[in-house]
Each structure stands twice: as structure tokens, then as C-alpha cells.
Amino acid sequence: MKPGIHPDYHPVVFQDRSTGDAFLTRSTVTSDRTIDWTDGNTYPLVIVDISSYSHPFWTGTRRIMDTAGQVEKFHRRYGQRGGAR
């Protein structure tokens, strides 16, 4: 690899916001938050809205997650339509 052009690749903990489950992996993402991991080391913590712990495809359950108000935004923009015609 050519030196000086690649981002720093380091261990990071990703935590699912809805379930609280976390996993340690390597990434180039940075964070100001940290967490003490089970191995006794401190790692950057990144909170994610959906991971394999909460995604309906992996869990086999159906959840409606509207963290940003997307449904309300859609209704404000396009209005509520009548029934099927």
C-alpha cells in the first residue's frame, strides 16, 4: 500500500441503539465517545440505528422503526390519499 493516502483502520465498537447489543470490529470511522470493552481495553463507540441484532431480516420479526419521522414527513409533503380506486 502507498503510505500516507489511506485512512486509519482501527478497532471500533458498534452498538445497536434499540437493543443495546454491541460488537467489536475494525473500521475507519471515528467517534468522540468511548466504551470499556470486555477485554479491558477502551475503544471508540459508534451508535447505530439498525444492526443485525435488530434488523427484521436477521431477527425474523417485523418492527416499524421511524426514528426520523419519515412517515409524517411523507404525509406533510404529499397529503393523505384516499382509499384504493
Encode the chain (85 residues) as per-residue pLDDT tens digits.
688 898 889 999 999 888 888 999 999 999 999 999 999 999 999 988 877 777 666 556 665 666 667 777 777 888 766 655 4
Q: Is residue 1 part of a domain?
A: no
Per-residue pLDDT at 72: 78
Please tell me the distance from the alpha carbon of residue 3 to that of residue 30, in angstroms, as a whole number.
Answer: 20
Per-residue pLDDT at 59: 59
**Count of structural domains within the chain:** 1
Per-residue pLDDT at 55: 64
Cell representation of residue 62: 417485523
Q: Is residue 57 part of a domain?
A: yes
Q: Is residue 3 part of a domain?
A: no
Number of Cβ within 10 Å of residue 43's Cβ equals 19
Q: Is residue 53 part of a domain?
A: yes
Please tell me the distance from the alpha carbon of residue 85 to that of residue 36, in angstroms, as a whole number.
Answer: 57
E strands in 17-59: 22-27, 34-36, 42-48
Per-residue pLDDT at 62: 63
